[in-house]
Amino acid sequence: MTKREFLRILGLATLGLTSGSLFNYGCKKRKSFQKNWVWMSSQHFTSPDEWKKMFARMKKHRIDAALVQGEIETFKKILPIGREEGIEIHSWIFTLMCDRKEIIEDHPDWYTVNRNGVSSLEKPPYVDYYKWLCPSHPEVQEYLKERVSELAELDGLKGIHLDYVRYPDVILPIGIQPKYNLVQDREYPQFDFCYCSVCRKAFKEQYGADPLELPDPPSNIAWRQFRYDSVTNLVNKLAVVAHNKSRMLTAAVFPTPDIARRLVRQDWPNWHLDSVMPMIYHKFYNKGVKWIKKATQEGVKALSPTTKLYSGLFVPALSPSDLVRAVSFASEGGAKGIVLFNAEAMTDAHWKSLGRVL
C-alpha cells in the first residue's frame, strides 16, 4: 500500500468517526431496504421543471417511489417525468373521506350516519371537511371501483394508493385530542359511525338485530366486526380491480393493527394489498421515536408474507438527526423501507441526513 492510499483510507475512517454517533448508529443497524417512498401533493409542484427537480432529488437520496395526490391530468403530465428520472408513480386517493361537489349534490344518501342519527355530510365530526362515504353502500363500492379502474388505465402508473379508507375516528389519537379540547375516554355517539339505513338493514339481516337497538352498541363484538368487515370487503374488491389491470394496490393505515381497529375500524392485516404503509406518527400517540420499532414489529407480525410493510414517518415531528434514528428503528422493526410524509416537509438538512442513512 502506498502512503497516498494509506492517507486516503485513514481520511475516510476519520470521517466516519467524526460524522456523529447517530449517523454511525443508522449505518450499523439498518438492514437493506427494498424500496423507499414519499407522499406528495400536486398542489406544491406546478411546473414540469419543479417535478423534474424533485424527482431527481428523491432519486439521489434513495427514494424510489412517489405517492402523488392529483387529478388525471396531473398524472398525464408527470408520468413521463417520473419514468425519465427513475421514480415509480402511484396515484394517492382519498377513498372514503369525500367532499367532491358532484357526490355531495347528487348522492347525499351515500354518507355515513352517527349513533345520534346525524349524517357526516350534515355535521362533519372534528373539522368541516370530515365528510365520509359509507363503505357498506353498494353504490359507493361501485363508484370507487370505477375510480380505481379509471386510474389503472393510465399508461405508466405503477399503482393506486388508498388513504382515508376507514371510518371517521371514533376516538382521536391521544396526542391530538387536546387540539380539539376533547377527552375521549369512550366511544361517544356523535363520533360513532355508521348507522345509516344500509348498514342497519345489512346487520339486522345477518345478526337479527338493529344496531341502534343494542343495549350498548360500542361493546357489541358482532357490530364491531361488521364494520371491520365492511371496510375489508371494500378494499379487497378494489384490489381485484387494480390487480386485474396489473396495478399495485397499497394503503395508508393507522400505526398498529390494534390501534387501527380501536380508533377507525381498520382491520388491515386482512386486506389483500401489495404493500401497507402504517402511519407511525409517534407524537400523535405521545410516544418517543423508538416506538417506531415496536409499531413496525407489530405490523410485520400481523401481516401475511405476501404483503410488504413500509413504515410511515411524519417529517414535521422529526429533526434531521431524529430522522436518522427513525429510519434505523423502522429497519430494526422489520420494515421493507420507509414512507415520508411528506416531500414538501423535507428541508435541505433532512435530505442530507436521509442521504447518509440510506
Tell me which DSSP letter residue 152 carries. H
- Digit-by-digit pLDDT tens for the chain (358 residues) are 333 333 333 333 333 323 333 434 444 445 679 999 999 999 999 899 999 999 999 999 999 999 999 999 999 999 999 999 999 999 999 999 999 999 999 999 999 999 999 999 999 999 999 999 999 999 999 999 999 999 999 999 999 999 999 999 999 999 999 999 999 999 999 999 999 999 999 999 999 999 999 999 999 999 999 999 999 999 999 999 999 999 999 999 999 999 999 999 999 999 999 999 999 999 999 999 999 999 999 999 999 999 999 999 999 999 999 999 999 999 999 999 999 999 999 999 999 999 999 9
What is the C-alpha separation between 87 and 309, in angstroms, rounded? 19
Asked if 167 and 89 touch (Cβ cutoff 8 Å), the reply is no
CA distance 53 to 229: 42
Count the Cβ atoms, other than its own, within 10 Å of residue 311: 29
Domain chopping of the chain, boundaries: 32-105+135-174+221-357
Q: What is the CATH number of domain 32-105+135-174+221-357?
A: 3.20.20.80
Question: Three-state DSSP class for 7?
Answer: helix
Could you tell me how many helices (H) and strands (E) the chain has, helices first? 12, 9
| Cα three-residue angle 99-104-109, rounded to 5 degrees | 120
Locate 43 and state its grid cell: 398542489
CA distance 353 to 297: 24
**Gap between the Cα atoms of 145 and 274, Å rounded:** 17
The dihedral over CA atoms of 218, 220, 226, 231, expressed in degrees to the nearest 10, equals 30
Nine-digit cell at 181?
379540547
Q: Which residue has the cell 377527552?
A: 183
DSSP for residue 269: G
DSSP state, 99? Answer: -
